[in-house]
Chains A and B, each alone.
Chain A
Amino acid sequence: QVNLVQSGAEVKKPGASVKVSCKASGYNFNDNYIHWVRQAPGQGLEWMGWINGKSGATQYAEKFQYRATLTRDASVRTAYMELSPLIYDDTAVYYCARMDSNWAVEYLQYWGQGTLVTVSS
């Protein structure tokens, strides 16, 4: 079965960087895009961007265009989200999710368990 396993919680200082991993299993990694979504404490879901598992092409929400970097290593079936420099408002749970589609509709069917990133001095 499809499984996305993310790296563990992180505590970082403002101005530092964080890199969250998302290891996929149960499907051909090259066949799907991986999206990243974050959720600040007590808040809603915020879409960050996606990476094409096969080509490595990326697209970002404008808000994250210059601070987030999405990469992947298909040889180890893992996607990464790096955010730098961190600010206090980046404290959130970060999710990776696999994009699927049906009749041209795209959606996020499989999700990682989430990684809490805390930015604190």
Chain B
Amino acid sequence: DIQMTQSPSSLSASVGDRVTITCRASQTISYFLNWYQQKPGKAPRLLISGASSLQSGVPSRFSGSASGTDFTLSISSLQPEDFATYYCQQSSSSPWTFGQGTRVDIK
């Protein structure tokens, strides 16, 4: 199975900060990497597919990039509604696997 390792596991940030979350795959997954946002008690929400393709309706302050087996989710200017847990997920091969999540909370 492909292991997805996110870092950090949690971070504290202030409104307006730039935030970067990293996800590393245990083997090559090309660009088959998706990012989700989850708020407490809610289903996950797809933010980015294919490593960098922003989903319709997702604010442009979110962006994704890839370099080899390392993937990055960036939030350019953190907003109050962005405090949540973020997960990466690979769809390169079965079984699909998720990172362990990165919790972003208020500093």
Residues on A lying within 8 angstroms of B by beta carbon are 35, 37, 44-47, 59, 61-62, 95, 97, 102-109, 111-114
Contact = CB atoms under 8 A, between A and B. Distances in A.
Given A45-B44, A111-B44, A105 B49 contact: yes
Nearest to B50: A105
Given A44-B87, A44-B99, A59-B94, A111 B43 contact: yes
A109 to B, nearest CB: 5
Main secondary structure of the interface of B (DSSP, over half): loop
B91 A106 contact: yes
Interface of B: 31-32, 34, 36, 38, 43-46, 49-50, 53, 55, 87, 89, 91, 94-101
10 contacts: A45-B44, A47-B97, A61-B95, A105-B53, A105-B91, A107-B46, A108-B34, A109-B46, A109-B55, A111-B45
10 shortest A-B CB distances, which residue pairs? A111-B43, A105-B50, A107-B49, A61-B95, A47-B96, A106-B91, A45-B98, A107-B34, A44-B101, A44-B100
A interface secondary structure, majority: strand
B95 A102 contact: no
A12 B79 CA distance: 40
